């Protein structure tokens, strides 16, 4: 197969890129209702490309929100089945003014594709469509494949649970294959073996029933912005940077010596990290290093805050309301629902008399760790070894893919997370990009995984 897949990529590379670029042109931002039609258009685009690649029974499955694209190729029911999961929705692109090129007008520069979703997850999802196309057209498919590509990953996959629960038979499989994480570096391949969970909440404070003149009322009424700041400040201990919510750490599993050692083995230069981010110092939980803080320890970050006058110049107003979006990354064995409840009652308890507090639980997901002695992990490891020329490292990622836990619970199968992007791809940020090297390396590696997986399952 080695020469065959390489040749196929060489001959079809331009078409692969042009198809991906067409998909990236569709602003399928699931968080913002104004892109509703675009999100639906992206689903149709994916369905059509899947069918062209050789998938059968392709279908746009309705949900209460955005649809799930399904397709399959069953070559022999007695063979193993791999379910490929990905998503066609993207993060909001704002702030738009920080993009060097408009986020939905993809450009290729310095061997990278720049666009919102280039890596997360359109680029990584589309690797699977093209690897599948290769296997079908060259008679290399050694097992059954199912595709389930959703459109609500960036807003918490609210309707995927119901879909998976109601379609157990249709989705029956032996393993779920996902490319929605990153690897350590182009020359340091890695496989994601852990994901943090997420609890994402919105808080809103109301003081006076209307905006007030700060001269007339200043000093006498509860100012919701000042108070919001005071309440947020109390969520993290200033010295230890530990989260102060009572019970927050109760279920956090300590890091084993083995894990500590594995983290030490990951090549990491703090100076390069700080330089890349333009910061003079890192900041995080006392007693842990940067890799631990971003992978095996839980966190709390304010993702957005607003209140009062935000325009040019000065306005002397006391706002009626102020709000913030706050998320926590969770690690085994924390539970998203429990953490959201702990946060809510603690946050409310911090409010002084005179303000009203509203807390909304936006979405969440439990953390997950996958074993490294499984068939799928070993198959993936061998595949990377063949195409990168070195054994990949097992890596616990800081991000969250809540659905991994869902697949375990509802389908009874594990996932294997073969990410080909890099942390520096600026996903969720302006100027997101995906290396063409990474896109093509993904397409090259995936068929090896299928081969080894079927071989080892025998």
314-333: contacts with a second copy (CB under 8 A): 314-319, 322, 324-325, 327, 329
For residue 454, give every residue at least 6 positions away whose Cβ sits within 8 Å of its Cβ, in sequence order, or none. Answer: 79, 80, 142, 143
> 228, 263, 375, 440: which one contacts a second copy (CB under 8 A)?
228
Give me the phi and psi of 150, to 5 degrees please.
Answer: -100, 170
238 binds a second copy (CB under 8 A): yes
446 in Cβ contact with 137 (< 8 Å): no
Q: 202 or 386: whose CB is closer to a second copy?
A: 202
| Cβ nearer to a second copy, comparing 10 with 216 | 216
Report the chain's C-alpha Rg in angstroms: 23
Closest-CA residue to 132 (of 122, 143, 120): 143
| Separation CA 326–CA 236 (nearest Å) | 12
Establish if 426 lies at the interface with a second copy (CB under 8 A). yes
Does an H or E element contain 411, and which?
helix 403-411
CB of 374 to a second copy, least distance (A): 24
| Single residue of 352, 373, 389, 458 touching a second copy by CB under 8 A | 352
Q: Give the residue carrying structure tokens 């946060």.
A: 343
423 part of the interface to a second copy, by CB under 8 A: yes
Q: Counting contacts by CB under 8 A, is residue 418 touching a second copy?
A: no
| 24-43: contacts with a second copy (CB under 8 A) | 30-33
115-154 residues near a second copy, rule: CB under 8 A: 154
Using rule CB under 8 A, residue 337 touches a second copy: no
Q: Residue written as tokens 């791999």?
A: 82
User: Could you give the C-alpha distances from 135 to 72, 124, 454, in angstroms and in order?
Assistant: 13, 17, 14
Q: Does 313 bind a second copy (CB under 8 A)?
A: yes
Provide the minimum distance between the beta carbon of 397 and a second copy in the complex, in angstroms, as a whole number.
7
Least separation, in Å, of the C-beta of 106 and a second copy? 19
* CA 279/CA 232 separation, integer angstroms: 23
Residues 193-212 that bind a second copy (CB under 8 A): 196, 198, 200, 202, 207-212
Closest CA to 180 of 417, 431, 422, 452: 417
Give the footprint of a second copy on residues 50-89 (CB under 8 A): none
Min dist CB 369 to a second copy, Å, is 15
Which residue lies nearer to a second copy by CB, 91 or 159?
91
Residues touching a second copy, count (CB under 8 A): 101
359 binds a second copy (CB under 8 A): no
Q: Distance (Å, rounded) from C-alpha 133 to C-alpha 235?
A: 50
Instruction: Give the helix/strand (H/E) hosting 397.
Output: none
Residue 266 in the binding site for a second copy (CB under 8 A): no
């Amino acid at each position: 197969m080695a020469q065959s897949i390489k040749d196929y990529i060489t001959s079809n590379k331009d078409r692969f890129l042009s198809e991906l670029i067409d998909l990236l042109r569709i602003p399928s931002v699931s968080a913002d209702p104004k892109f509703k039609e675009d999100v639906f258009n992206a689903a149709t685009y994916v369905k059509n490309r899947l069918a062209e690649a050789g998938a059968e029974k392709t279908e746009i499955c309705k949900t209460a929100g955005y649809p799930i694209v399904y397709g399959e190729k069953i070559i022999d029911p007695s063979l193993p089945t791999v379910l490929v999961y990905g998503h066609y929705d993207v993060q909001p692109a704002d702030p738009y003014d920080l993009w060097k090129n408009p986020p939905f007008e993809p450009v290729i520069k310095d061997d990278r594709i720049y666009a919102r979703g280039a890596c997360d997850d359109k680029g990584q999802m589309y690797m699977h469509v093209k690897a599948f196309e290769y296997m079908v057209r060259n008679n290399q498919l050694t097992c059954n494949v199912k595709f389930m590509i959703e459109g609500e990953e960036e807003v918490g996959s609210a309707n995927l649970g119901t879909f998976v629960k109601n379609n157990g038979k249709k989705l029956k499989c032996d393993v779920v294959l996902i490319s929605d994480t990153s690897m350590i570096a182009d020359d340091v391949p890695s496989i994601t073996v852990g994901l943090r969970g997420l609890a994402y909440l919105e808080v809103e404070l109301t003081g006076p029933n209307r905006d007030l003149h700060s001269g007339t009322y200043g000093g006498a009424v509860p100012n919701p912005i000042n108070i919001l700041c005071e309440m947020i400040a109390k969520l993290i201990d200033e010295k230890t940077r530990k989260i102060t919510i009572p019970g927050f750490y109760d279920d956090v599993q300590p890091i084993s010596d083995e894990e500590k050692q594995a983290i030490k083995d990951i090549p990491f230069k703090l100076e390069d990290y700080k330089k890349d981010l333009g910061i003079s110092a890192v900041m995080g939980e006392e007693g842990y290093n940067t890799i631990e803080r971003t992978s095996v320890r839980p966190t709390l970050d304010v993702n957005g805050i607003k209140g009062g006058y935000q325009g040019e110049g000065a306005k002397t107003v006391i706002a009626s309301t102020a709000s913030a979006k706050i998320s926590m990354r969770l690690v085994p064995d924390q539970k998203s629902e429990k953490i959201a409840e702990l946060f809510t009652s603690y946050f409310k308890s911090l409010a002084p008399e005179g303000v009203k507090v509203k807390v909304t639980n936006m979405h969440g997901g439990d953390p997950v760790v996958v074993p490294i002695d499984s068939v799928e992990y070993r198959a993936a490891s061998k595949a990377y070894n063949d195409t990168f020329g070195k054994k990949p490292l097992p890596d616990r990622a800081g991000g969250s893919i809540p659905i991994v836990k869902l697949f375990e619970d509802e389908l009874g199968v594990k996932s294997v997370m073969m990410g080909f992007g890099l942390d520096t791809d600026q996903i969720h940020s302006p100027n997101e990009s995906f290396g063409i090297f990474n896109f093509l390396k993904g397409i090259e590696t995936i068929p090896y995984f299928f081969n080894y997986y079927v071989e080892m399952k025998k």
